[in-house]
Structure 1
């Protein structure tokens, strides 16, 4: 490679590096959660704490927006300076709030306490992702500008009846997975599970439990039948081996007897 080509390559690499550095986004606001549930029963109270740091990685003045699908909600926003001393504390009622963040106020850290109640479920879905609802979602909002999500948490709300049905279906699916046979029993079990899930989504939880129990019974029966068949096969193979050994021994003895008579 000549000097001219090498110089052009170095120039191109330098230009690419400068371009990547220019478009690389700054570090975002950091937020962590304490006692954030993954699932919670309808009617239960939720009390979760969030801590926000690196507040001015993007802007020196902005608005913190928080939203939740909980009901009977109270947000408590407490700000701290660099020494950890409390600067201010304010409470907001409702499923959303807005709180101003300003570097000139000597705010270095924000703690948000969310208290609320798990509301009724609009539509049940056995699919866990489809069943989840928002625990908390925080966004960084600029005045007259765009809104950028900081982070969000979700959880799965349930009732006693829906949880019983979900557990029954999960047990049936586990039994099907454990069943080694692909025969009629497993096919029937899969059909029962499909019907159980449909019943769950229709909020017919009692029927879902009955169908899931039938699925589990079919899967276990299929597995037991498969195990019995394997035992019979093993027993047959063992008997065949014994016949071969005994037959070989008798043939050997007959050969020995024939040899003795010749002598």
Structure 2
């Protein structure tokens, strides 16, 4: 390759390098959960912790911001050095907090504990369980730039909503278990109405409709099974009649042959 061509390519190589460096993925803060519940009842008190490591992959100094939908919240931030020794422990009240971190402080690990009361469900969906934000963690850089690097969600429910959801699940199972040929149209209609009632927050109606759907599905399944049994009995009866005709015909033929033989003698 001649020098003229190399000189033309050099700016392109530099530009490509700059583009790649601009889009290269930033080092991620490592987050692990400890004791965070998968689901919780509305109004109950819950707590859980997350541990942050690899804190300074992007910046040597930044602010940890935490936000939650829990009520009556207390955040506890405990920091450790590389040897695992505790360096500090500080608590914050409220649905959000800010805590400064810097490489110079010697902090290499943060344990964040969240404790609060499970909020009400704003809207109910059936395909996916209602959930709230247990903790949303954001890295805030000096100057205002921020990056939300982890959101922890927890399902929440009330006693009645869980009863309704379980009743709908039982009805769905009854419909799925019905044998082929069972007329489950009425059951499916009641099930759809139950899901609609659940989404509207009318849980007692949802429970009643789901029970109706399950009963209808079981009735349809029983009728289908009885019909199948009758069909099977008729089939077996037909086979028996055919066998009797075959056997009877065979006996008749055998006797007629015996009589013909006797006449010949």
Q: Which position in structure 1 is the counterpart of 2:7?
A: none
Name the stretch that deviates more: 220-229 or 235-244.
235-244
- 1:156 is displaced (CA, Å) by 2.0
Tell me if the contact between 1:40 and 1:157 (Cα under 8 Å) persists in the aligned partners.
yes
Q: Which position in structure 2 is the counterpart of 1:232?
A: 230
Q: Judging changes above 3 Å, is the alpha-carbon distance between structure 1 residues 216 and 66 closer, same or farther for their aligned structure 2 residues? A: same
After TM superposition, the score normalised by the length of structure 2 is 0.86
Tell me if the contact between 1:30 and 1:150 (Cα under 8 Å) persists in the aligned partners.
no
1:146 and 1:249 map into 2 onto residues whose CA distance is: 94
After TM superposition, the score normalised by the length of structure 1 is 0.86
1:101 and 1:242 map into 2 onto residues whose CA distance is: 88
Residue 114 of structure 2: SS of its match in structure 1?
A: strand
Q: Which position in structure 2 is the counterpart of 1:71?
A: 71
1:150 and 1:182 map into 2 onto residues whose CA distance is: 52
Tell me if the contact between 2:194 and 2:207 (Cα under 8 Å) persists in the aligned partners.
yes
Q: Which runs of 5+ in 1 are unaligned?
A: 1-14
Name the stretch that deviates more: 239-248 or 88-97.
239-248
Per-residue CA deviations over 1:72-117 (Å, capped at 9, x if unaligned) read 0000001101100011111111111111121111111110010000
Residue 134 of structure 2: SS of its match in structure 1?
A: strand
1:42 and 1:27 map into 2 onto residues whose CA distance is: 37
Q: How does 1:23-38 map to 2 (within 5 A)?
A: 23-38=23-38
Q: Which position in structure 2 is the counterpart of 1:124?
A: 124
Q: Judging changes above 3 Å, is the alpha-carbon distance between structure 1 residues 114 and 225 closer, same or farther for their aligned structure 2 residues? A: same
- 1:196 is displaced (CA, Å) by 1.3
Residue 231 of structure 2: SS of its match in structure 1?
A: helix
Per-residue CA deviations over 1:219-248 (Å, capped at 9, x if unaligned) read 111111111111112222222222222222
Q: How does 1:158-169 map to 2 (within 5 A)?
A: 158-169=157-168
Tell me if the contact between 2:182 and 2:224 (Cα under 8 Å) persists in the aligned partners.
no
1:147 and 1:218 map into 2 onto residues whose CA distance is: 55
Q: Does 1:170 align with 2:173?
A: no
Q: Does 1:253 align with 2:251?
A: yes
Q: Judging changes above 3 Å, is the alpha-carbon distance between structure 1 residues 235 and 20 closer, same or farther for their aligned structure 2 residues? A: farther
- 1:134 is displaced (CA, Å) by 0.8
Tell me if the contact between 1:30 and 1:52 (Cα under 8 Å) persists in the aligned partners.
yes
Q: Does 1:94 align with 2:99?
A: no
Name the stretch that deviates more: 170-179 or 66-75.
170-179
**What RMSD, in angstroms, separates the aligned Cα atoms of the two structures?**
2.2
- 1:19 is displaced (CA, Å) by 8.8
Residue 128 of structure 1: SS of its match in structure 2?
A: coil
Per-residue CA deviations over 1:193-230 (Å, capped at 9, x if unaligned) read 11112222222211111111101111111111111111
1:27 and 1:250 map into 2 onto residues whose CA distance is: 89
Residue 121 of structure 1: SS of its match in structure 2?
A: coil
Tell me if the contact between 1:67 and 1:95 (Cα under 8 Å) persists in the aligned partners.
yes
2:96 and 2:72 map into 1 onto residues whose CA distance is: 11
Q: Which position in structure 2 is the counterpart of 1:6?
A: none
